[in-house]
Amino acid sequence: MTGGYAAGTRARNNVRIGCGAGFSGDRIEPAVTLAEKGELDYLVFECLAERTIAMAVRTRLKHEEGGYDPLLAERLGAVLPAAVRNGVRIISNMGAANPIAAARRAAEIARKLGLGPLKIAAVSGDDVLRQLRAQDRPLLDAPGSVWQWPGELISANAYLGAEPIVEALEQEADIVLTGRAADPSLFLAPLVHEFGWSWDDWGSLGRGTVIGHLLECAGQITGGYFADPGVKDIEGLAELGFPFAEVACDGTAVLRKVAGTGGAITLATCKEQLLYELHDPTQYITPDVVADFSSVRFEQLGRDAVRVSGGGGKAKPEKLKVSVGYKEGFVGEGQITYAGPGAVERGRLALAIVKQRLSRLGKEILDLRLELIGLDSVDGNANGARAPREVRVRVAARIQTQEGAALVGREVEALYTNGPAGGGGATQSIKPVIAVVSTLVDRAQVRPTLHWEGVE
């Protein structure tokens, strides 16, 4: 295989890394803007949530070439022309449950677009289902063990760190596609590769992890998930731009976005994102390092430019976290709206009727939720003192069988002609439940492996 566009790149003092997606369904245009105008070295797409990989494993069971991110083709098709033109290397966990098939698909897309030569690496080895089937382990976040959890065990994916990605970059991969990898590791890897940080330089690895954590949710640091009119106003949300970091070899960075895009990078957006999904700020655990976020500092340098410094780390954990997925029945759901005077009372009557009608399912119902959207569906403590002009009845139940789950929506729909006055707009849905819990495995049991696809 000939070298791709990454061939011959050299170590430097400054690296620009952008984030092109913060979740699997994220907008595509901001990544194209970053690839075109960000003057980036790397563009990272974080597309894999805890539950997503278990769903992807199910897809792969049905189709051998499936199980990678459903938007992979669309995303890479949109971004690759500018990325190749500008020498921007791509790293993503869009490989999901099938990184090797994802790499083959990526190569196909590049060929179709007439792009190349390209080197594409797939990182596999996160799948540890075989290991967990052979040996039981205690759960991390729930009582009992992997084998004791109710439901059918269908997936087990260990969180890989930055190491295999760095190896791929060292072998001049233009695109690296992983399955389950820790989100910040996708960003830490190019920093380790470019700056030559050693794997026991915990301070640098910690600071790189802070930068990865700040970038990994894309628009959440540029004003998305932030605006609150009159209190926290953000301009141009419809054209929200995604962030990039200009990282120096000491692990400090300046967070920016492409000029002319919507949103804002301020001290407030940075602080919110630093603390997002954080527990103990001194112990942010990844496969690479236990990072310390408590000493991170922000300084506003100018419009949409915030300098991040501080942060540190200590030795990486001995074991790797594993997300374990189980099939656990189905969720059936139905909704219907009531309005005008007495809407709340009619809504409550509707809930009581459906509850009674579903009671014939008996023990098949594993969990049941009855609520009024607009009154108490999100605020579980609402006492109903207010009387909204409209409420939406919502009934959701987790049920062992698909047939049982289907009954939930049907009983809600039946309220049209068999329930209180004026029920409108009934909807129903059924979806399979994939429960995800966590356990730990020894690093020795996880063997990351690289596979290559070439485009001539």
Partner 1 sequence: MILRDLAHTRSGDKGDTSNISVIAFRQEDYELLRKEVTAERVKKALGAMVLGVVERYELPELGALNFVLHRALAGGVTRSLALDMHGKCLASLLLSMEISSKS
Q: How far is the CB of 412 from partner 1 (least distance, A)?
A: 14
Among 248, 406, 433, 440, binds partner 1 (CB under 8 A): 433
Amino acid in the structure at residue 223:
G
Contact 185, 448 (CB under 8 A): no
| Binding to partner 1, residues 398-427 (CB under 8 A) | 398
Q: How far is the CB of 281 from partner 1 (least distance, A)?
A: 5
Could you tell me which stretch among 44-52, 203-211, 243-251, 356-364 binds partner 1 (CB under 8 A)? 44-52
Q: At what angle do helices 183-195 and 202-215 cross, to 10 degrees?
A: 130
Q: How far is the CB of 296 from partner 1 (least distance, A)?
A: 8
Among 369, 410, 431, 447, binds partner 1 (CB under 8 A): 369
Helices (H) and strands (E) in the chain, counts: 12, 18
Q: How far is the CB of 425 from partner 1 (least distance, A)?
A: 16
Among 193, 394, 413, 441, binds partner 1 (CB under 8 A): 394
Instruction: Name which of 231 and 259 has its Cβ closer to partner 1.
Output: 231
- Pattern 135-154, binding to partner 1, x per CB under 8 A? ------xx------------
DSSP bridge partners of 332: 397, 430
Contact 177, 95 (CB under 8 A): yes
Instruction: Name which of 192 and 217 has its Cβ closer to partner 1.
Output: 217
The set of long-range contacts for 54-60, using a CB threshold of 8 Å and a minimum separation of 24, is: 54/154, 54/155, 54/323, 54/325, 54/434, 54/436, 55/434, 56/96, 56/97, 56/98, 57/97, 57/154, 57/155, 57/157, 57/325, 58/154, 58/155, 58/327, 58/432, 58/434, 59/97, 60/97, 60/98
CB atoms within 10 A of CB 343: 22
CB atoms within 10 A of CB 274: 19
Q: How far is the CB of 159 from partner 1 (least distance, A)?
A: 12
Is residue 371 a contact residue for partner 1 (CB under 8 A)?
yes
Residue 142 backbone phi and psi in degrees, to 5: -155, 160
Alpha carbon of residue 339 to chain centroid = 37
User: What is residue 377's DSSP assignment?
Assistant: S
Between CA 91 and CA 20 the distance in angstroms is 10
Instruction: Name which of 120 and 274 has its Cβ closer to partner 1.
Output: 274
Instruction: Name which of 349 and 373 has its Cβ closer to partner 1.
Output: 373
Contact 376, 382 (CB under 8 A): yes
Cα–Cα distance list, 52 to 140, 212, 232, 396, 406 (Å):
20, 20, 32, 21, 23
Instruction: Name which of 74 and 280 has its Cβ closer to partner 1.
Output: 280
Is residue 328 a contact residue for partner 1 (CB under 8 A)?
yes
What is the size of the binding site for partner 1 (CB under 8 A)?
50
For 90, the token pair is 């791509």
Among 298, 405, 413, 420, binds partner 1 (CB under 8 A): 298
Amino acid in the structure at residue 33:
T
Instruction: Name which of 92 and 269 has its Cβ closer to partner 1.
Output: 269
Is residue 373 a contact residue for partner 1 (CB under 8 A)?
yes
Instruction: Give the contacts of 38 (CB within 8 A, at least 6 positions apart).
Output: 16, 18, 88, 244, 258
Could you tell me which stretch among 12-20, 31-39, 350-358, 394-402 binds partner 1 (CB under 8 A)? 394-402
Between CA 452 and CA 118 the distance in angstroms is 10
Instruction: Give the contacts of 382 (CB within 8 A, at least 6 positions apart).
Output: 375, 376
Q: How far is the CB of 384 from partner 1 (least distance, A)?
A: 14
Alpha carbon of residue 174 to chain centroid = 23
Q: How far is the CB of 147 from partner 1 (least distance, A)?
A: 18
- Pattern 253-292, binding to partner 1, x per CB under 8 A? ---------------x--xxxxxxxxxxx-----------
Could you tell me which stretch among 8-16, 173-181, 200-208, 363-371 binds partner 1 (CB under 8 A)? 363-371
Instruction: Name which of 238 and 378 has its Cβ closer to partner 1.
Output: 378
Q: How far is the CB of 349 from partner 1 (least distance, A)?
A: 21
Instruction: Name which of 4 and 332 has its Cβ closer to partner 1.
Output: 332
> Environment class of residue 309 by beta-carbon count within 10 Å: exposed (0-12), middle (13-18) or buried (19+)?
middle
Is residue 386 a contact residue for partner 1 (CB under 8 A)?
no
CB atoms within 10 A of CB 185: 29
Instruction: Name which of 141 and 318 has its Cβ closer to partner 1.
Output: 141
| Binding to partner 1, residues 76-135 (CB under 8 A) | none
Instruction: Name which of 8 and 229 has its Cβ closer to partner 1.
Output: 229
Is residue 355 a contact residue for partner 1 (CB under 8 A)?
no
Residues that bind partner 1 (CB under 8 A): 49-51, 54, 141-142, 225-226, 228, 231-232, 268, 271-281, 294-298, 328, 331, 367-369, 371, 373, 377-381, 394, 396-398, 433-438
